[in-house]
Amino acid sequence: MAKIKSKFVCTDCGTESPKWLGKCPGCHAWNTMVEEKETVVKTQGVGLRMVHTKEKAQSIIHIESGQEPRIETRMQELNRVLGGGVVPGSLILVGGDPGIGKSTLLLQTSHAMAVKGLKVLYISGEESVRQTRLRADRLGALTEMLYVLCETNMDHINDAIETIAPDFLVIDSIQTVYDPNVQSAPGSVAQVRECTAHFMRVAKIKGIATVLVGHVTKEGAIAGPRLLEHMVDCVLYFEGERHHTYRLLRAVKNRFGSTNEIGIFEMGEEGLREVANPSELFLSERPLGVSGSTVVASMEGTRPVLVELQALVATTNFPSPRRMSTGIDHNRMALIIAVLEKRIGMFLQTQDAYLNVAGGVKLDEPAVDLAAAVSLASSFRDAPTKPYDVIFGEVGLTGEVRAVSRAEQRVKEAEKLGFKRVIMPEKSLKGWKAPEGIEIIGVNTVSEALKAALG
């Protein structure tokens, strides 16, 4: 007879416990332990569930090497993030806020793959086939090789995979799929873990490139145990402000490429449109001759991007001044303010300071330090910066400006967009020649940069 067992599983990290605990012993999160009941039945596996492969260990020098074959889509931004295209047999996890455009992105990608002559199976557990057809009509994603199925039962999905034998598989979303052999509700930790493991075996054994859509928590992380991100080959986050038209596709894990690349799209009536020059998009609404506004040259993977930094320094009405930042690490902003106080002599202890990356982009590289310092000083002194200056460089605790990587690419991007001056670390000027038509000012300290930028 079947034996029913009860256990408690953390919804964040997947830690199991025989009894309920208020605090998870694995990730130390509170109130994340939920009860799950599982039925243990001794049965023999069928189909892909019990696939046993017995291979012999071999020396690594005798293993054939070579580049993984890739399938390029018609969306170059997606190819950039994936490292050159979709790898057959790979398992990709895509997460994002509700309504951000995940289904739109994957339906356009499915259409692009089907146009190349590949069989695509799009399984939707949240929309009917008629709703998917209406979306496809709006996006112009109609082709004979794109198959759509509305199903959440794992056994029925297996039958469809066996019948159609697709080259590209989309599961939208993994939280809606359930395995009838697992005695848990759809979306639970056990169901998500088992279904993901099953699709991983399908992708590896049959060589099907599989994309799973995952829901996200209120903190922005993919819902379910962290085990999911370890099982898949690539984890992509689809980000963006709902009130803005642009979207960012960012890789946080990629076994076949870099995790520093981002893809930029713009949402329109006919779906997502690629943004070939993101610098023009982020600088399109930049005010000129305003204090606290600077332009920084940041690197997103191999691509230089020019972004506007805005700072506001105002007298506080509270005993403790406020320090708020959007798009830049809060601790990094506090460090820059401390350097301005200690090394430059600015009295900011009675001032509220706000720092914002215009457009909602997140910058996490140290090359934005110098631009942030100039923005804060410009707002504090109410001295506008020159509208055609680009600033970048890392700031040290002693007030020195340190060299950054790929300075030549940053300067070329600034020159291409019509900027006249670049204020950068002097140590980054070695080994390359600046293009004509743009002035390069090398600085060694923050005070030198402020003198050059603010006069």
Binding annotation = 96-103
In which residue are the tokens 């959007």 written? 326
Q: How many Cα atoms occupy the beta-carbon half-sphere of 280 within 13 Å?
A: 7
Given the structure tokens 């920084």, which residue do they identify?
296
Token pair 């994309």 is found at 211
Within a 13 Å sphere around the CA of 349, how many CA atoms are in the beta-carbon half? 5
Comparing CA positions, the residue from 391, 51, 368, 16 lying closest to residue 206 is: 51
DSSP string spanning 115-182? HTT--EEEEESSS-HHHHHHHHHHHT---TTEEEEE--BHHHHHHHHHHH--SEEEEE-GGG-B-TTS
Q: How far apart are CA 121 and CA 110, in angstroms?
A: 8
Binding-site members for ATP are 96-103
Kindly state the greatest CA–CA separation across the chain: 84
Q: For residue 63, what are its two tokens?
A: 């293993």
